[in-house]
Amino acid sequence: MEPATFVLFGATGDLAKRKIYPALFQLFVDQKLPSSFSLIGLGRRELSHETFQSNVEQSLITFSRSEVKDADVVKKFLRAFRYHVLDVDRKEDYTKLLRLVEEREEELNITPNRMFYLSVGPEFFETIATNIHESGLGSVDGWKRLVIEKPFGHDLESARQLNHTLNQAFDEPEIYRIDHYLGKPMVQRMGQLLHSALWEQADLRTRSITNIQISANETLGVEERAGYYDHAGAIRDMFQNHMLQLLMMLTIELPNRSSVDEVGKLKRKIMKSLMSLNKMDITQHVVRGQYGAGEIKGEQVVGYTDELGIAVDSQNDTFIAAKLRVDDPFWKDTPIYIRTGKRLKEKVTRIVIEYKSKGPLKDLLIVEIGPNEGIFFQRSQSDKERSDVEMPVRSQLSFMKESVKDAYETLIHDALLGDKTYFAHWDEVELSWEWVQPILYAYQDNLIPLHIYPAGSYGPHEADELLARDGFHWWFDFKNVSNNDSTKGDIHTYEYNT
């Protein structure tokens, strides 16, 4: 791997401590960092290099996946770390930063390959990119890269504006947009695993898929993110990015395997084929919800509008379910249902692919993305015709949980390598906003009712009706299962590790 300087904006922040330093340390332990590597951490607070290094060490002790026991290894890792005070608005700070970066490049005798990682609020992205450009930090003989994390804009117009400004300083191939769902090992290996599953269950390759369900259910409420979340809601926080990325990653893999080179092209093709929703469709195809008070794992929790920092009359969405259609020859007859929400009964990210069958037994391919991971094949009774026999046929593959890498490890490694396969391309981001924008307007004009659902449920019952109208139901919601049914449709039971 080429030598590089990692310029980290927001080096004193939470994301850096919890994710970025542990990921870098793991890469160091696994010998996946460049042999000549320099990191310059930035923030407004005054810190000496030594204090910075000791803060980083502390975060490794608290959050690292590998046990931090060998002092020499940690010391060697921290040797690359320097700290510099920088206020994003102060141009002179960038000039001083440039001097430090160059000094370190000379000291280490490394090519000026610079990765600018923006672990700061999105309101700073444009200022930082512009100042990198104007200060000369970005004029390098080697490569330069910009890493940012969603949100990429607040709506279609602001996303375009943001991208336009970024493009004054960085070309599209130099911009790495993190959608951490794309860094999840299960998402990255989904194609490969689905195809080995279909190799074993050969008949499925020729069978029609009746519907697809993509769920990302959280048990947490708004927590400390009220300021951000109350202006974003589930639609911007989850749906526009993570959920549509999951849809893209899944649909490009079926029916045929795609090559890595084709991933971007195919994802864009899918997004272009997503049938847009007109005003009438929106009210029929989108369910908006907000959690009320309820019970999560035996504990009483308050409703959204009673949360700290949330306006008592907030109309913000904490849940969205939608029915989507892809207008291409393979997918045109297959509805895709997506739902995501906070304060739901269980934490799970899962995709269920339901196959057409003649009898009551339904064949399902299940992609468990989190907290457990694996791909399973299961034959289940349809709800209406349940009997005592529910027959899990086979599970295909799964990972040992302990060996699962954190998404940031993979993504930072890929960015250092210059591999953009699992980063969001601007075209995908723009197409996602284009698809979502009519829903944002409908929310704004209150065309879609806001349904209050009890915390600890699976969301508003209107989300069940969305599927019931087409003759389906959400798989693996525990409410669909009678208490005395020993099989419960609990797919974890059938997991095995290879």
**Active-site positions?**
242
Minimum CB separation of residue 226 from ligand NAP in Å reads 13
Cα distance between residue 236 and residue 317, in whole Å: 10
Minimum CB separation of residue 50 from ligand NAP in Å reads 17
Tell me the residue ranges of DSSP E strands in 99-174. Answer: 114-118, 144-149
Minimum CB separation of residue 90 from ligand NAP in Å reads 8
Cis upstream peptide for 371 (omega within 30°): yes
The residue among 15 and 266 lying less far from ligand NAP, judged by its C-beta, is 15
Which position has the token pair 């599953």? 197
The residue among 119 and 396 lying less far from ligand NAP, judged by its C-beta, is 119
And the tokens for 329? Answer: 């020859």
For residue 242, which of 304, 290, 177 has the smallest C-alpha distance?
Answer: 177
Using DSSP's 3-state secondary structure scheme, residue 462 falls into helix
Q: Would you call 261 exposed, middle or buried from its count of C-beta atoms within 10 A (0-12, 13-18, 19+)? A: exposed
Contact predicate 4/115, CB 8 Å? yes
Which position has the token pair 């943001």? 162
Q: CB-based contacts of 386: which residues, under 8 Å, 6+ apart?
A: 482, 485
Minimum CB separation of residue 408 from ligand NAP in Å reads 9
Cα distance between residue 134 and residue 200, in whole Å: 57
**317 C-beta neighbours (distance < 10 Å), count:** 26
The residue among 47 and 452 lying less far from ligand NAP, judged by its C-beta, is 47
The residue among 204 and 235 lying less far from ligand NAP, judged by its C-beta, is 235
Minimum CB separation of residue 88 from ligand NAP in Å reads 4
Minimum CB separation of residue 333 from ligand NAP in Å reads 37
**210 C-beta neighbours (distance < 10 Å), count:** 18
The residue ranges that bind ligand NAP (CB under 6 A) are: 10-16, 18, 43-45, 86-88, 119-122, 149
And the tokens for 3? Answer: 């030598």
The residue among 45 and 356 lying less far from ligand NAP, judged by its C-beta, is 45
Contact predicate 97/116, CB 8 Å? no
The residue among 148 and 212 lying less far from ligand NAP, judged by its C-beta, is 148
